Structure 1
Amino acid sequence: MNMSFFDQFTSPCLLGIPLILLAMLFPALLLPTPDPRWINTRLSVLLTWLLRLITKQLMMPLNKKGHKWALILTSLMTFLLLTNLLGLLPYTFTPTTQLSMNMALAFPLWLATLLTGLRNQPSITLGHLLPEGTPIPLIPALIMIETTSLLIRPLALGVRLTANLTAGHLLIQLISTATTVLLPIMPTISLLTSSILLLLTLLEMAVAMIQAYVFVLLLSLYLQENI
């Protein structure tokens, strides 16, 4: 029984073929395609407004050099947002609950920001490893600490997204199981747990949106340090 709670986090397979790629591509099918007509649909207008809002929020802390990353960051934000929200639907799979996938997103983008800083301003980028005015005896220890904090950034990005989504999904499944079990025994308590489940679902929707925004925002902040 306890092992079945974690079955939702295993990658689904059909005839031995993993379906995680299909789960990653499905959100893109819900986006409206560009229309050659002069007047757009309400969905297209809403999506355009949302993309402009997201791009404005992400590009605000960056200078003009960082605006080249607008397409990458906005696309990543849209992908994570749709994937996290669609994963809350019944009989669905959330690819972002897999640490391997989140690390595959976090590590290359973090490395790209670091290499951008080493190419454009190597002295400033390396200077972050040693704060100005550090006493000489503390220099080796501070360099090791700052290097460790720099290298752990992609791991923190991936683990943060994975842990928050996994904990929310697991808690929803636990409370929904308790609601189903208590329904024939104690209907009043079951009604109370179902109301808690509704509130938790709304909270998990907020967490799904916030974690997608935090993931991309931290990447933009890492980019800001290196441009």
Structure 2
Amino acid sequence: MALNLFDQFMSPAFMGIPLMALALTLPWVLLPTPSARWLDSRVSTLQNWFMCQFTRQLLTPLNMGAHKWAVIFASLMSFLLVINILGLLPYTFTPTTQLSLNLGLAVPLWMATVIIGLRNQPTATLGHLLPEGTPSPLIPMLIIIETISLCIRPLALGVRLTANLTAGHLLIQLIATAIFALMPTMMLTAALTMVVLFLLTLLEVAVAMIQAYVFVLLLSLYLQENT
């Protein structure tokens, strides 16, 4: 059977056994775990500093009621960051290129923010569906439009993460294939293309980090509206 470029995004399997659970849990082994020593290692200290800076920056504009989500946001950020970056290594699989996984993360968390808003401030939450001063003939149409825009948020979260990572991986594979095709005949062009591939790989590392941050940032904005 002929392979195509999208085969790299298929869920991995070994002897018919899906390996998605292994791809999701194995990256956690690479993270340093807390120890009982008085002084942590340099890696643990760097990790703690990064998580503290990220949590402080993310939760500063939020209300005190939203600070309960600090552990969830920090864990989700580290989870997405590690998986996205490890997916750029050869012979690895990026679970976040699967739309089902991204929607599985986005829908429950988005639904939780909506439920919190309906429980704590139902009037303000429902008031977002109808802007103040709307003419009476436009009220039914605006309510329908705002409801659709509210329900499409988790889909936008999942599609954004999936599309950015998938596009980057496809572009890297296309340029790498072009390099192998050009090496026997046009060595100089292949060398220049390899430089482009190196720069694109650096860009994809930045994209992997930024997309993990954007995913959590948008969830925090949704939570800010409902607290």
Q: TM-score range by the shorter chain?
A: over 0.9
Q: Are the counterparts in 2 of residues 61 and 221 from structure 1 also a CA contact under 8 Å?
A: no
- Counterpart position of 1:148: 148
CA drift of 1:127 comes to: 0.3
The alpha-carbon deviation at position 2 of structure 1 amounts to 8.3
What's the counterpart of residue 10 of structure 2?
10
Q: TM-score, normalised by structure 2?
A: 0.98
Specify the alignment match of 2:203 in structure 1: 203
Distance 1:112 1:211 in 2: 21
Aligned partners of 1:91 and 1:61: how far apart in 2?
Answer: 41
Distance (whole Å) between structure 2 residues aligned to residue 3 and residue 210 of structure 1: 31
In structure 1, the residue matched to 2:125 is 125
Residues of 1 paired with 2:2 and 2:48: CA distance?
A: 44
Q: Distance in 1 between matches of 2:219 and 2:104?
A: 14
Q: CA deviation at 1:60?
A: 1.6
Aligned to 1:61: 61
**TM-score under structure 1 normalisation?**
0.98
Q: Which residue of 1 aligns with 2:83?
A: 83
Q: Given residue 54 of structure 2, which amino acid in structure 1 is its aligned partner?
A: I
One-letter amino acid of the counterpart of residue 49, structure 2:
W
Query: Distance between the aligned counterparts of 1:181 and 1:13, measured in 2?
Result: 29
Identify if the C-alpha distance between structure 1 residues 15 and 121 changes in structure 2 by more than 3 Å, giving closer, same or farther.
same
Paired AA for residue 194 in structure 1 = M
**Paired position in structure 1 for 2:165:** 165
Does the residue aligned with 2:47 lie in a helix, a strand or coil? helix
Identity score, percent: 67
1:215 aligns with 2:211: no
Structure 1 unpaired stretches of 5+: none
Task: For residue 200 of structure 1, give the secondary structure of its aligned residue in structure 2.
Answer: helix
Distance across 2 between alignment mates of 1:144 and 1:57 = 35
Deviation at 1:39, TM superposition (A): 1.3
Residue 3 of structure 1 deviates from its aligned partner by 4.5
1:4: Cα distance to partner?
2.3
Point out 4+ residue stretches in structure 1 off by more than 3 angstroms. Answer: none
**Structure 2 counterpart SS, 1:179:** helix
Partner residue, 1:182: 182
Which moved further from structure 2: 27-36 or 119-128? 27-36
Residue type of the partner of 1:220?
Answer: S
Q: Secondary structure at the match of 1:133?
A: coil
Gaps of 5+ in 2: none
Q: Distance in 1 between matches of 2:177 and 2:68?
A: 47
Secondary structure of 2:145 counterpart: helix
CA-based RMSD: 1.1
1:102–1:158 Cα contact (<8 Å) kept:
yes
Aligned to 1:97: 97
